[in-house]
């Protein structure tokens, strides 16, 4: 029996993970499941999977969770500290699928136990890549990518020498507005941005796909995870979302990972790694698909991609500032305080202000420094939102 925990179990990635675990209940001992506001789902899965502990990040939801699990013998807890405590419980495999920088601390706690961390939470790598990967090294832990593009690259590198890699190409669907005129994008609503042409995901990453902030996080994630240089990382718009990424080698070969847009492939790959096992995803009929198309991303349409390049060049605290500012700008867009295109203006303004104040190029990688940069970025984003 493998001991597994799922952080962010009630979300899109979390539910896909629960689906795979439920298909083979005898193979797993579930330690912790965590969620946020969706107490009914959290309690249902905790019961079905006989979890040791169920945790919500919201302290005010604890009575509801306690009532839902009364008499089951399942422990309940609430709040960020309780989530961190749950992450410190020994487990062989931990899914990191909380959304946002809130996933960083539980991820670090799990790595300190020497576990295998399946990392969907790209924000923790963007915010604190050197800290996260350094913690894994120190404690003999393993980080496996779950983002579909990074899982694809990881699979393309099995048995290969990273020194032979010339480039990594991350594909992008182009999101909800890939065919909209720019003028229309300026007045796009939250509802417009919340539906993805190919993938069924949580609301925040879906909106980030429309703005390409998701792709910019993924470019930085590529640099932090695989240790390649920024100029080795490319992106191409591929509207069908069937090729997830390509690895280009020094002999000119390009290895592409092709599969249906179903996150259970990347999750299941990480769950069974280093083995491969049968997964319940559709098999592609290439003749029915007939063609795959590609186009260069348009920088005017997607300023987030240019900002990601700056962040990769600067290094230091730029990733923490970028992600913090992006999360705040997204909150403001969802709250209808700023327009869709103003998100990138706010993030760029935050990076400029923090660089002028010499707050980006700090090479320290400790958690306090990272969190201070994240908080400062959110505060400046709030201020700047009044001026865009
Ligand atoms: P969802 O919004 O669907 O789920 C987020 C999960 O985190 C939920 O369980 C939610 O609880 C919980 N949560 C929300 N806020 C907090 C918080 N402050 N502290 C603790 N838990 C919290 O997101 P996704 O599943 O779409 O994405 C999860 C992560 O995976 C993100 O980092 C995303 O970028 C990444 N990812 C997602 C993909 C996808 O296909 N969805 C693809 C690739 C990467 P509740 O819902 O109960 O409130
Ligand atoms: Mg992705």
pLDDT tens-digit map of 372-387: 999 999 999 999 999 9
What is the average pLDDT value for the chain, to the nearest integer? 97
Q: Which atom of ligand 1 is nearest to the CA of 13?
A: 25
Q: What's the pLDDT score for residue 64? A: 98
* 199 token code pair: 């993938």
2-145 in CATH: which number?
3.40.50.720
Question: Does the domain at residues 315-384 carry the CATH identifier 3.50.50.60?
Answer: no
Q: Which ligand 1 atom is nearest residue 8's CA?
A: 9
Say if residues 342 and 301 touch (Cβ distance below 8 Å): no
- pLDDT band at residue 199, thresholds of 50, 70 and 90? confident
Please, which residues have CB within 8 angstroms of residue 112's CB and are 6 or more apart in sequence? 88, 135, 139, 141
Yes or no: say if 100 and 123 are a contact pair by the CB < 8 Å rule. yes
User: Is residue 299 scored above 90 in pLDDT?
Assistant: no
Distance 100 CA to ligand 1 centre (A): 7
Please determine, for residue 337, whether its predicted confidence score (pLDDT) is greater than 90: yes
Per-residue pLDDT reduced to its tens digit, 216-245: 999 999 999 999 999 999 999 999 999 999
Instruction: Give residue 147 CA to ligand 2 midpoint distance, Å.
Output: 5
Q: Where are the domains of the chain?
A: 2-145, 150-289, 315-384
Closest ligand 1 atom, residue 120 Cα:
30
Q: Which atom of ligand 1 is nearest to the CA of 200?
A: 40
Looking at residue 354, its pLDDT comes to: 98
pLDDT at 279 over 90: yes
Equal fold, 2-145 vs 315-384? no
pLDDT tens-digit readout, 169-182:
999 999 999 999 98
Ligand 1 binding pocket mutation candidate from 6, 7, 8 (most atoms within 8 A of CB): 8
* Cα angle 109-264-282, degrees, rounded to a multiple of 5: 170
Q: What's the token pair of residue 381? A: 């984003």
pLDDT of residue 275: 98
pLDDT confidence of residue 232: 98
pLDDT tens column, 111-155: 999 999 999 999 999 999 999 999 999 999 999 999 999 999 999
Q: What is the band of 364 on the pLDDT scale with cuts at 50, 70, 90?
A: confident
Between the CA of 164 and the centroid of ligand 1 the distance, in Å, is 35
Nearest to 65 by CA among 35, 88, 94, 86: 35
Q: Which residues of 240-270 are buried (b: 16+ CB within 10 A; e: fewer)?
A: bbbbbbbbbbeeeeebbbebebbbbbbbbbb
**Greatest CA separation found in the chain?**
62
Q: Residue 300 above 90 pLDDT?
A: no
Ligand nearest to the CA of 18: 1
Inter-residue contact 86 to 77 (CB < 8 Å): yes
Alpha carbon separation from 258 to 234, 348, 365 (Å, rounded): 17, 34, 36
| Nearest protein CA to atom 45 of ligand 1, as residue | 36
Do 347 and 329 meet the contact criterion of CB atoms below 8 Å apart?
yes
């Amino acid at each position: 029996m493998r001991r597994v925990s799922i952080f962010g179990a009630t979300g899109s990635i979390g539910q896909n993970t629960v689906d795979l675990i439920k298909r083979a209940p005898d193979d797993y001992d579930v330690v912790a499941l965590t969620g946020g506001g969706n107490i009914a789902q959290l309690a249902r899965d905790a019961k079905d999977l006989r979890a040791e502990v169920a945790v919500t990040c919201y302290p005010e939801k604890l009575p509801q969770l306690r009532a839902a699990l009364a008499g089951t013998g399942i422990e309940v807890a609430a709040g960020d500290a309780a989530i961190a405590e749950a992450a410190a419980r020994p487990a062989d495999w931990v899914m990191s699928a909380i959304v946002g920088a809130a996933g960083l601390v539980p991820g670090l706690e799990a790595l300190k136990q020497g576990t295998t961390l399946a990392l969907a939470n790209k924000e923790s790598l963007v915010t604190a890549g050197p800290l996260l990967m350094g913690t894994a090294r120190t404690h003999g832990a393993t980080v496996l990518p779950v983002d579909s593009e990074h899982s694809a690259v990881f699979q393309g590198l099995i048995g290969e020498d990273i020194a032979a890699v010339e480039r990594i190409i991350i594909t992008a669907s182009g999101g909800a507005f890939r065919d909209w005129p720019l003028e229309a994008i300026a007045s796009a609503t939250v509802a417009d941005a919340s539906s993805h042409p190919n993938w069924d995901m949580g609301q925040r990453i879906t909106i980030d796909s429309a703005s390409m902030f998701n792709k910019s996080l993924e470019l930085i994630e590529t640099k932090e995870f695989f240790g390649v240089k920024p100029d080795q990382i490319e992106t191409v718009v591929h509207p069908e979302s069937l090729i997830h990424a390509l690895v280009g080698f020094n002999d000119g070969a390009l290895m592409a990972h092709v599969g249906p847009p179903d996150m259970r492939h990347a999750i299941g790959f990480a769950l069974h790694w280093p083995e491969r096992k049968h997964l319940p995803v559709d098999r592609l009929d290439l003749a029915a698909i007939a063609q795959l198309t590609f186009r260069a991303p348009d920088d005017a349409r997607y300023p987030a991609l240019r900002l990601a390049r700056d962040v990769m060049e600067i290094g230091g605290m730029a990733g923490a500032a970028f992600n913090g500012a992006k999360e705040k700008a997204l909150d403001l867009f969802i709250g209808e305080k700023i327009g869709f295109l103003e998100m990138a203006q706010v993030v760029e303004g935050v990076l400029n202000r923090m660089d002028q104040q010499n707050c980006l190029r700090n090479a320290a990688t400790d958690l306090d420094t990272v969190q201070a940069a994240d908080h400062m970025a959110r505060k400046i984003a709030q201020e700047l939102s009044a001026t865009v």
